[in-house]
Amino acid sequence: MKFATEYLWFNTKNHREYINITGEVEEIVHKSGIKEGMVLVSAMHITAGIYVNDAESGLISDIDSWLEEIAPFNINYNHHKTGETNGDSHLKSILTGHEVIVPVTNGKLDFGPWQQIYYAEFDGQRRKRVIVKVMGE
């Protein structure tokens, strides 16, 4: 079994952003030479997430609204007693999840219709990274 690891770096302009990283992950899979296996894509920060869904702007807006409704900014979070102000960002990360695994078949991401990989930033405007680890033969 072979492994290939690369990192994607982000420094978003906004506090919350949703970035389609499918193309970058496809390129890493291609460079790895792995034809059959899987790729792990994982946010390496506790205020960011990785998810798979449709690349449709209305849906992305709905996801953002839904997350803000379930885990809104609230100055009264216990986490803020530590001097932080990003308690909602941690909760949003839990809701989206921090990683996905996608099958690789014939050297390509083996998606269903419309599926794309997204990096979700909930506490942006500073440098963060994502690990992309391709595993297989």
- 17-20, strands of its sheet edge to edge: 17-20, 115-121, 48-54
Please, are residues 77 and 87 in contact by the beta-carbon 8 Å criterion? yes
| Residue 78: predicted pLDDT | 95
pLDDT tens track for 5-61: 999 999 999 999 999 999 999 999 999 999 999 999 999 999 999 999 999 999 999
The count of structural domains within the chain is 1
Structure tokens at 34: 């792995």
Q: What is the CATH number of the domain that holds 90?
A: 2.60.120.460
Q: Which domain holds residue 110?
A: 2-136
pTM of the model: 0.96
| Residue 49: predicted pLDDT | 98
Residue 24, classed as helix, strand or coil, is: helix
| Residue 74: predicted pLDDT | 93
| Residue 43: predicted pLDDT | 98
| Residue 9: predicted pLDDT | 98
